[in-house]
């Protein structure tokens, strides 16, 4: 199987077009039509039709779920006929869909490696599905489930596409964080302190910190004071503004095998990776500051388990 290297920059492209992944915006009806034209290729997500209002809506008022379903159904229903809109854009002619679109949908349906990304920033959630086979990758992404971006590109360009997924929106202001660039701490402490802070029991944090005194370190093994650790734990909860979760699966066989997960959280000054590991039989987690361009390198060891 081909080795995928996401930890080093790709080789310079031969020509300009080789460096530019092709991207096409498609509405849900257009996407469904292209999938149908691609031999009934299955999409990497399930689309459930709105169930309609509850029998109690007339008496108690429309519930939030019913209102959202109704709004979604109206939005999809207001879209143009997919065959007409694809033809106007030059993506379909005489009932034949552009070969690039068909190939991308075919790759989404028959990959050897699947990468699912779930990103939430500032209350907005985005989902992306990356599918790889051989030297090619196809990616599908959406924020609202109505308009999708379909892209396809060589595997060598994958690191840049992953960095694009993790770019923080320009309208989200950043400022200094109370957390240093690297903190390594017991998972038990991080989990228990987070639960205490989320449930309004901040008084328990000092007790938890005292129980793990000397166990929170920087990347050089240096220890922090109890007051510093208390501030770090608070920052992990109060500064959190988003998250990124990447799930890698081997889909080359008859069954799907989940290989690993990469998790990031968005704090006041940007992304931090959460790297679980073991030391002296104890479960620990390293919280390290990262940039969007680091996502490929973070995923490289996980992907290596599939491609080895």
Other CB atoms within a 10 A radius of the CB of residue 226 amount to 15
Closest CA to 270 of 178, 185, 177: 177
Q: What digits encode the pLDDT tens for the residues 186-207? A: 999 999 999 999 999 999 999 9
pLDDT digits (tens, 9 = 90+) for 100-140: 999 999 999 999 999 999 999 988 999 999 999 989 999 99
User: What's the rounded mean pLDDT across residues 79-90?
Assistant: 90
Residue 76 pLDDT more than 80? no
Does residue 63 register a pLDDT over 70? no
pLDDT score for 265: 97
For residue 225, name the pLDDT band (cuts at 50, 70, 90).
very high
If 0-12 CB within 10 Å is exposed, 13-18 middle and 19+ buried, where does residue 170 land?
A: exposed
Q: Is 4 helix (H, G, I), strand (E, B) or coil?
A: coil
For residue 174, the tally of other CB atoms under 10 A from its CB is 12
Among 43-47, 176-180, 285-289, the range scoring the smallest mean pLDDT is 43-47
**In the chain, what are the domain boundaries?**
182-307
Q: Please determine, for residue 2, whether its predicted confidence score (pLDDT) is greater than 50.
A: no
> How big is the chain, counted in residues?
308
Using the predicted structure, report yes or no on whether residue 59 has a pLDDT greater than 70. Answer: no
Q: How far apart are CA 169 and CA 91, in angstroms?
A: 30
Q: Residue 52: pLDDT above 60?
A: no
Q: What is the Cα–Cα distance from 77 to 59, expressed in whole angstroms? A: 27
CA distances to 121, 139, 194 from 170, in Å: 11, 23, 28
**Measured distance CA(116)–CA(140) in Å, rounded:** 10
Residue 179 contacts residue 240 (beta carbons within 8 Å)? no
**pLDDT given for residue 1 in this prediction:** 41
The string of pLDDT tens digits covering residues 130-169 is: 999 989 999 999 998 899 999 999 999 999 999 999 999 9
Handedness of CA 195, 198, 199, 204 (dihedral sign): positive
Q: Is the distance from CB of 204 to CB of 264 less than 8 angstroms?
A: no
Name the pLDDT band for 53 (thresholds 50, 70, 90). Answer: low
pLDDT of residue 256: 77
Q: What pLDDT is attached to residue 306?
A: 74
3-state secondary structure of 110: coil
Mean pLDDT score across all residues of the chain? 86
- Please name the residues in contact with 32: beta carbons below 8 A apart, sequence gap of 6 or more: 43, 47, 82
Looking at the DSSP assignment, which residues form a beta bridge with residue 278? 283
Is a pLDDT exceeding 90 seen at residue 78? no
Residue 173 has pLDDT above 80, yes or no: yes
**What is the percent of the chain where pLDDT is above 70?**
84
Other Cβ atoms less than 10 A from the Cβ of 55: the count is 8
Predicted pLDDT at 221: 85
User: What pLDDT was estimated at residue 21?
Assistant: 80
| Longest CA span, the chain | 72
What pLDDT shows up at residue 67? 65
Read out DSSP for 22-89?
EEEEEEHHHHHHHHHHTTSPPPSS--PPP----TTHHHH---HHHHHHHHHHHHHHTSPPHHHHHHHT
Find all residues with CB under 8 Å of 126, minimum gap 6, and list them: 117, 118, 119, 120, 141, 142, 143
pLDDT at 20: 60
Taking 60 as the threshold, does the pLDDT of residue 209 lie above it? yes
């Amino acid at each position: 199987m081909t080795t995928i290297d996401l930890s080093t920059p790709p080789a310079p492209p031969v020509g300009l077009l080789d460096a530019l992944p092709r991207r096409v915006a498609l509405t849900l009806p257009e996407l469904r039509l292209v999938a149908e034209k691609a031999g009934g290729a299955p999409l990497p997500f399930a689309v459930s039709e709105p169930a309609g209002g509850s029998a109690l809506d007339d008496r108690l008022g429309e519930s939030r779920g019913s209102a959202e379903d109704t709004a979604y159904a109206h939005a999809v229903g207001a879209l143009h006929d997919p065959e007409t809109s694809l033809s106007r854009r030059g993506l379909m002619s005489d009932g034949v869909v552009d070969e690039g679109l068909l190939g991308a949908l075919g790759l989404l349906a028959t990959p050897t490696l699947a990468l699912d990304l779930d990103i939430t920033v500032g209350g907005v959630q985005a989902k992306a599905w990356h599918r790889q086979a051989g030297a090619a990758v196809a990616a599908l992404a959406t924020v609202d489930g109505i308009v999708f971006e379909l892209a396809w590109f060589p595997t060598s360009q994958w690191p840049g596409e992953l960095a694009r997924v993790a770019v923080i929106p320009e309208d989200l202001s950043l400022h200094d964080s109370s957390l240093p660039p690297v903190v390594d701490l017991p998972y038990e402490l991080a989990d228990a302190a987070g639960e205490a802070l989320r449930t309004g029991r901040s008084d328990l944090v000092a007790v938890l910190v005292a129980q793990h005194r000397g166990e929170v370190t920087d990347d050089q093994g240096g220890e922090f004071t109890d007051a510093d650790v208390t501030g770090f734990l608070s920052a992990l909860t109060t500064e959190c503004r988003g998250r990124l979760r990447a799930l890698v699966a081997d889909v080359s066989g008859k069954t799907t095998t989940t290989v690993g997960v990469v998790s990031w959280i968005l704090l006041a000054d940007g992304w931090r990776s959460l790297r679980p590991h073991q030391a002296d039989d104890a479960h620990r987690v390293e919280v390290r500051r990262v940039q969007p361009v680091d996502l490929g390198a973070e995923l490289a060891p996980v992907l290596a388990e599939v491609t080895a």
